[in-house]
Structure 1
Amino acid sequence: MSEIAIQDMAASLKGRDFLGLVDYTPEEIRYLLDLAIDLKKKQKSGQPFQPLKGKTLGMIFEKSSTRTRVSFEVGMYQLGGHALFLSKNDLQLGRGETIWDTAQTMSRYLDGIMIRTYAHRTVIDLARGATVPVINGLTDRSHPCQALADYQTVLEQKGKLQGLKIAYIGDGNNMVHSLMMGAAKLGMHMAVASPEGYDPDPEVVKNSRENAALTGGSLLLTRDTREAIENADVVYTDVWASMGFESEQSAREIAFKNYQVNEEITSYAKKDYLFMHCLPAHRGEEVSEGVIDGPNSIIFDQAENRLHAQKAVMAALMS
């Protein structure tokens, strides 16, 4: 990408929301990935980069988190700004104030809003009411910041993304939705193996396949874990019962008993496959200890890159 194209891309991202990868072109996603890698190099070398000096990010947490809170708070500090933590008990939302009024009011105080919540509709309504950028820190439908960090990690490890195969084994949840859309936008081949009744959302599948057709990627849905994982460059899984679904734990343990990522099933992936998990993980449940703690695992590289990928998003949207 030429210097002029980079400048044009940077200008086009200022002030936008980051609600999902579906809203971004392949070129914009790649720009954010390259920016994340550049910001990581700057941070590792001690080179100051503070485009958000004097700016404040409001962080609304209706769902608790370790990685999301720490990475956004530290990232905002490193970019020269300030992050303000707001739990659901700190806001009038829990007492009946509308999303619109909250968004309008917070936009008068803040330069950006990050929200981690349950219903995806909440994020959409917040963005419609806000006059500052809104960043989706996680909803029940998508987790775009994690997916961006994941593809940054794969790019660093493999040197490319287009043409690689990523296999996801497990629940068709918010994580796989964002991974599918990212893979489609980046020209990757993705295979998803889920038990009956736990498939990804049909609308997300449709949108992902439409985007994959434009980039040379593909999307396979199957019940067969071996079919999904065969020749995979990347193997990914997540917990069987995500936050909010704890009451289904026993039923899900039965449904997913043949969907554990372990040494036997990963033997069908490429020898140099990368194992990924968005964390927190339940060893011995969705993944064996031998895989998650083995030589192919890059789970903590992923966790670190939440910091750098989110810094790229904040710098691009808020500077």
Structure 2
Amino acid sequence: MKVPTHSGSVGSVAPGAVNLKGRHFLTLRDFSAEEIKHVLRVSADLKKRIKHEGQFLPLLQGKSAAMIFEKRSTRTRMSTETGVSLLGGHACFLTPQDIHLGVNESTGDTARVLSGFADAVLARVHSHSTLEELASGASVPVINGLSDRYHPVQILADLLTLQEHYGSLEGLTLTWIGDGTNILHSLMMSLAKMGMNLRVATPKGYEADSGVLQEARRLSQQFGTALVLTSDPMEAAQGANVLVTDTWVSMGQEKEKAQRLRDFQGYQVTMQTGSVAAPDWVFLHCLPRKPEEVSDELFYSSRSLVFPESENRKWTIMGLMVSLLTDYSPQTPQLKI
């Protein structure tokens, strides 16, 4: 059934189209190349039709999302609240002080309760196992808004930003310089599927999780892409199209700050780092950012795509919600993702 809008049809299911309706979204490891591309196509389509053409698309009218936040947030909260609202739905913000998650009520029971109230549950949690418990008990899609192991919604925004900038993801080389964080883990679970090479520089003792790395090597071999690991940032940056870093001191690691800053000496990404990259290189950072991670000169330069990347958190969470909750198929024919 098509829902009327102020400027034409909303969309319908195309024959043979990818359909993710009802799926959980905990890690990109569980999604194929075509499934990831589908979410990116929907995201780009919504951005074009809503932002650039001014269309009204109430694709989530009558639907609601419960948002559990064990950790504070700017982009994840705002992108979800504004995005769901823009599509005609309602997002409800819940902190540990608002609900009984794991206290007086099991996580599984909370999942069952929320499934009766909401059409999706987005959770930003400390432990990835909390997401797995929620998904096990929920009868609606559970979305990973961040966990200690993965941050897949951020990677969707990164990929859309690079697609917009370069016109294609195939063959790009992305260099990660910094800690072996949940962002790196999610990049490892997705880039090879997009035909992208990954080069990683981490200080000794700060490498990616061994299990994630093993899967990344398998994916790289399967899709014929390169995976390079080093502790030398300049070696990792050699020939890269994209330089990426993240916080060196994540939430909960504040007591380790002094030691971490010593261990990450020489890892600040600067224009000098980019001097050995490809001529068309750009910079990404998921934010919030500290000056020790990237120089002001680079962060605020034309090489930096961090603010378009930040905005794309909204369009990709919208694309993801629509993909998991409806049968929508993109209506913009020229999308080449």
Which TM-score applies when normalising by structure 2? Answer: 0.91
Distance 1:272 1:57, change over 3 A: same
Q: Retained in 2: the 8 A contact 1:169–1:236?
A: yes
Compare 209-218 and 244-253 and name the one that shifted more: 209-218
How far, CA to CA, are the matches of 2:99 and 2:12 in structure 1?
Answer: 43
How far, CA to CA, are the matches of 2:286 and 2:138 in structure 1?
Answer: 29
Q: Which amino acid aligns with 1:70?
A: M
Q: Please tell me the root mean square deviation across aligned C-alpha atoms, in Å.
A: 1.5
* 1:224 positional shift: 1.1
What are the Cα deviations for residues 177-202 of structure 1, in whole angstroms up to 9, with x where unaligned? 11121212211100010000000111
* 1:271 positional shift: 2.3
Q: 2:241 aligns with which of 223, 233, 242?
A: 233
* 1:5 positional shift: 9.1
Question: Which residue of the partner structure matches residue 165 of structure 2?
Answer: 157
How far, CA to CA, are the matches of 2:12 and 2:142 in structure 1?
Answer: 27
* 1:208 positional shift: 1.5
How far, CA to CA, are the matches of 2:26 and 2:231 in structure 1?
Answer: 30
* 1:36 positional shift: 0.8
2:323 maps to 1:312: no
* 1:6 positional shift: 4.8
How far, CA to CA, are the matches of 1:221 and 1:7 in structure 2?
Answer: 42
How far, CA to CA, are the matches of 1:146 and 1:213 in structure 2?
Answer: 24
Question: Which residue of the partner structure matches residue 114 of structure 1?
Answer: 122
Compare 19-28 and 175-184 and name the one that shifted more: 175-184
Q: 1:259 aligns with which of 258, 267, 270?
A: 267
* 1:214 positional shift: 2.1
What are the Cα deviations for residues 60-97 of structure 1, in whole angstroms up to 9, with x where unaligned? 00001000100000110111100001111001125331
- Could you list the structure 1 runs, at least 4 aligned residues long, displaced by more than 4 angstroms after superposition: 3-7
Q: 2:25 aligns with which of 18, 26, 43?
A: 18
How far, CA to CA, are the matches of 2:15 and 2:28 in structure 1?
Answer: 21
How far, CA to CA, are the matches of 1:5 and 1:222 in structure 2?
Answer: 45
Q: 1:187 aligns with which of 195, 210, 231?
A: 195
Question: Which residue of the partner structure matches residue 268 of structure 1?
Answer: 276
Q: Which amino acid aligns with 2:59?
A: P
Matches within 5 A, 1:2-81: 6-10=14-18, 12-44=19-51, 45-81=53-89
Q: Retained in 2: the 8 A contact 1:88–1:94?
A: no
Question: Which residue of the partner structure matches residue 135 of structure 1?
Answer: 143
Q: Which amino acid aligns with 1:291?
A: L
How far, CA to CA, are the matches of 2:14 and 2:34 in structure 1?
Answer: 10
Secondary structure of residue in 1 paired with 2:189: helix
Question: Which residue of the partner structure matches residue 297 of structure 1?
Answer: 304
Q: Retained in 2: the 8 A contact 1:184–1:209?
A: no
Q: Percent of aligned pairs with the same residue?
A: 45
How far, CA to CA, are the matches of 1:167 and 1:93 in structure 2?
Answer: 37
| Greater fraction of residues in helix | 1
How far, CA to CA, are the matches of 2:157 and 2:96 in structure 1?
Answer: 26
What are the Cα deviations for residues 101-153 of structure 1, in whole angstroms up to 9, with x where unaligned? 00011101110000001100000110010000000000011100000110010
* 1:9 positional shift: 3.6
Secondary structure of residue in 1 paired with 2:192: helix
* Aligned residue pairs, count: 315
Secondary structure of residue in 2 paired with 1:60: strand
Question: Which residue of the partner structure matches residue 250 of structure 1?
Answer: 258
How far, CA to CA, are the matches of 2:154 and 2:235 in structure 1?
Answer: 25
Which TM-score applies when normalising by structure 1? Answer: 0.96
